[in-house]
Structure 1
């Protein structure tokens, strides 16, 4: 059956052609037409009176080294964007678990849910329990870095090593950014389209340097805005933005007690709510060249790797520079 791979390829072509953003096909809440790089499985979760499902990929290496790594995605990406990272880790013998958190990717998008990082951590622990995994290394990117931090703090006996890749939450935005209600987040999400999403990623993630390979990750978000579940997706996005803004991990880095690697792109300037503050304040937000060293000093024994000329997504924008320190850290060197 080649229907899904062919469809996915056609979708990539459609959005790669200049001036053809309107050709992006609609996508449903669970991305049924979007092909993931590895087989997708699900577990069922009973949460706040609802039966929800959590999708995940489980890459089994051909020559296992006995270790497992858990990859936690960011806010604006599905677990599928770990494709190259998982492949390289698998070649080195690691079993790789890649969940879509509830509210993201191919997992449930509930009509109502009180989101918290503690809840997402519990869901992730339930997945590991289902797979009978008691020890893992954890790699979290962006929002996944906040979740990885919370997961490590909640389950220190499970986490062997922690890797944070351009995590958000290295500062507490509430100190400088005015609060925005869930309703306002929701209204903003309803206005999203391909052009807005691409501009945000171009400016905020890649420092103004775009490559065609980045388009497929815009396609997922843009396809949702055209789909039958657009309002439900927007509502979940609003709820998770509120979670991120109101539930900082910033004050707890000193409590991490596992070996930690912090990787940052020196061009990263990601910060929540930057558009809601004056220009002089905006310049002080998301300054990763400053935030990275500050936070690494607060995490006992943390190793910092800073990658020049790279923005918010080192594992996509500069994969060789990203994966080398990851593999070295996991191997203990």
Structure 2
């Protein structure tokens, strides 16, 4: 049975066109999943998370914040590398994503998601941590660091988005209804094509496919409309809440890990043709962010795209561990 197989083998043995529940029921995570239950905006909610304790603890904790098209499970390689180096690793699914609650009505803000994450960490006794955020998780990590500077030992940002204000640069507002319409129309082929060009610099490997099916499977499942609605609300949050203006306010050391071939910009395809080439230029955005952040260390991967931790895990994790060690308290 699938449940008895190792995680990687179980994913390979899964159907090629799987269907998952609205909370990603049926998709196995690489480590045991726990639930943090809490009340927010009058709703009883839960956040799924993995809490992986190392065999030889070094006394530090890293919290992993996933991106918009990712889940806690996609951090498996990073969890393994960090745990082997002695770090306790906490990897949650944010509300609206993956195995966590999909509320019918929720005002999504990065402040709210940061507060939810802080509550989770308090509930499991994590008083201070390094926060590693990727993509949209990078925006959330910045907001977390601004709200909870005393609890944030260090930030590590892997190709964070929000390093430019798309609205100010001319990307039109799509609004929640348009995002909802777009999300209902998504499928595995569209997800795969986008990820191949943006995440992996037009190179595709079989190990990327489970993450495509993870997302597409929820859109094939019985909760498709609820999943798409929450996704639409989240896209609107990302578009309307850039963090670029507040980067100079960060007080902790910040490690920027940037794949310079990345071209990610929310709503870029809806922008006027003359504006699109100017958006998502990570070769410039990384350098600009490093200049704006008081204690920044910039590491660039000149042959990588939006997901360097998945495109070349060894190089990424070598740089990550080196950067974490340099900021050791």
Aligned to 1:18: none
Matched, 1:149 2:142: yes
Residue 133 of structure 1: CA displacement?
Answer: 1.2
Contact 1:4 1:35 (8 Å CA) reproduced: no
Residue 191 of structure 1: CA displacement?
Answer: 0.5
Contact 2:2 2:13 (8 Å CA) reproduced: no
Matched, 1:271 2:248: no
Aligned to 2:3: 3
Aligned to 1:97: 90
Q: Which structure 2 segments of 5+ residues have no match?
A: none
Find the aligned partners of 2:7 and 2:322 in 1 and give their Cα distance. Answer: 37
Find the aligned partners of 2:52 and 2:6 in 1 and give their Cα distance. Answer: 22
Q: TM (normalized to structure 2)?
A: 0.96
CA RMSD of aligned residues (A): 1.6
Which string of whole-angstrom CA distances, capped at 9 and with x for unpartnered residues, describes residues 271-292 of structure 1? 0011111222100000000111
Aligned to 1:294: 288
Residue 301 of structure 1: CA displacement?
Answer: 2.1
Q: TM (normalized to structure 1)?
A: 0.95
Find the aligned partners of 2:6 and 2:313 in 1 and give their Cα distance. Answer: 26
**Number of equivalent positions:** 326
Aligned to 2:66: 73
Given candidates 307, 312, 315, the residue that maps to 1:318 is 312
Residues 232 and 8 (structure 1), Cα distance of their counterparts in 2 relative to 1, 3 Å cut: farther
Which string of whole-angstrom CA distances, capped at 9 and with x for unpartnered residues, describes residues 249-275 of structure 1? 110000001011101101100000111
SS in 2 for 1:132: coil
Runs of 4+ in structure 1 off by over 6 angstroms are: none
SS in 2 for 1:43: strand
Aligned to 1:88: 81
Contact 1:11 1:24 (8 Å CA) reproduced: no
Contact 1:138 1:148 (8 Å CA) reproduced: yes
Which string of whole-angstrom CA distances, capped at 9 and with x for unpartnered residues, describes residues 189-234 of structure 1? 0111111111111112112111111001101111011100000000
Matched, 1:181 2:168: no
Given candidates 18, 41, 50, the residue that maps to 2:43 is 50
Contact 1:8 1:34 (8 Å CA) reproduced: no
Given candidates 183, 189, 196, the residue that maps to 1:195 is 189
Contact 2:54 2:87 (8 Å CA) reproduced: yes
Contact 2:7 2:29 (8 Å CA) reproduced: no
Residues 267 and 7 (structure 1), Cα distance of their counterparts in 2 relative to 1, 3 Å cut: closer
Aligned to 1:251: 245
